Amino acid sequence: MWPIFWATIFVWTIALVAIIIKPINVMALKLVGASALTEQEWRLLYPAWQTLDGIIPNWDAYDVLVVDQDMLIPRDLGFYVVTVDRSALYSLNKNELRAVLVWRFARQANWTAPLTGLCLWGALPLLLMPGLGLLIFRTIREVVRAVKTTADGLNPKTEFQAGCGLLLYGVGMVGLLAMLIAGLWFLIEAVFVLVVSIILAGLIRRAGLTASIVATRLGYGDDLMSALMKLIAFEQPKSSWLKPLSTYSSLNAHFVEIERVASLDS
């Protein structure tokens, strides 16, 4: 058990370092699918990028990475990176791309991305618990199997040997009961982790939608709606069973939110 405990602590520590230390954070995001801008992509981004001065505080303190929309792992965890979909660079005009950048920066400014990373980090030991429960279940099962095999092979000739065999069968029954309890514990843990993950993902999606509200109230609602109408065509459909666990709302959900806020403000 102790090696498993220390392995969990080690993974947990490394995950925190990957969130709070900028070079490691950038490197970790690249490892899960984000990438640095190529020279061509930077030329496409720069006209919109340079107009952010005075709109977004400390805008030049962030690194910009490009991502593909079908990434399952959240793409801008931490405090230092703003991500842009690759399709946005090639399909949007300058004003639309600027609106998308303001939208993405608003996600960082309202702490959605940092909090996503910290929440997932905090839940990491919880996510590892079903694995620990499964390991305990398998260990007990192997012990029970070994005890039963030993008891079956005794072929007792004396009362003492018969008593030892009976004792081994008793140990086997206790082990079987422990195995059933461990299995029930594993099932409860798995359900609990699933429920917590769904609630956490829903809260993150709701917080992410506020980035659209911020961008709309900064005056970029029309350009952002125009951009989203183009980007929706590139959005990869998610499997229905993955949607409750996604930390990103669909582009269509953002589009609806922008329309709602624009109508209220008018």
pLDDT tens by residue, 163-188: 665 666 666 667 667 766 766 776 77
**The pair of three-digit structure tokens given for residue 14, joined into one six-digit string:** 């490394």
Mean pLDDT (the chain) is: 75
Residue 241 CB burial class (10 angstroms; 0-12, 13-18, ≥19): exposed
Beta strand ranges found along the chain (DSSP E): 35-36, 63-67, 81-85
Continuous segment of H or E residues that includes residue 218: none
68 Rama class: left (phi>0) / alpha (psi -120 to 50) / beta:
beta
212-224 pLDDT, tens digit each: 888 888 888 888 8
Q: Helix %, strand %, coil % for the chain, to 5?
A: 75, 5, 20
Residue 200 confidence (pLDDT) above 70: yes
Query: Helix 251-265 to helix 221-231 angle, to the nearest 10 degrees?
Result: 160
Residue-wise DSSP of 26-83: HHHHHHTT-EEPPHHHHHHHHHHHGGGTTTSTTGGGSEEEEE-TT--S-S--SSSEEE
Distance (Å, rounded) from C-alpha 106 to C-alpha 205?
A: 14
Query: pLDDT tens-digit profile of 53-73?
Result: 777 777 778 888 888 865 545
Q: Rounded CA gap, 198 and 208, in Å?
A: 15
For the segment 105-152, what is each residue's pLDDT rounded down to a tens digit?
887 776 666 777 777 777 776 666 666 666 666 766 676 676 666 655
pLDDT higher at 266 or 77: 77
Residue type, 195: V
Tokens (6 digits) for 158? 């004396």
How many Å separate Cα 264 from the centre of its chain? 33
Whole-number pLDDT of residue 238: 65
Specify the pLDDT at position 236.
67
Q: Is the pTM of this model over 0.85?
A: no
Q: Residue 85 in contact with residue 69, Cβ under 8 Å? A: yes
Of 5-9, 89-93, 102-106, 260-264, which has the strongest mean pLDDT? 89-93
Is the predicted pLDDT of residue 41 greater than 60, yes or no? Answer: yes
In this prediction, residue 163 carries a pLDDT of: 62
258 and 212 in contact (C-beta within 8 Å)?
A: yes
Position 51 scores a pLDDT of 83
pLDDT at 10 over 70: yes
Range in 129-143, 192-206, 239-253 the model is least confident about: 129-143
pLDDT on residue 250 = 75
d(CA 89, CA 155): 77
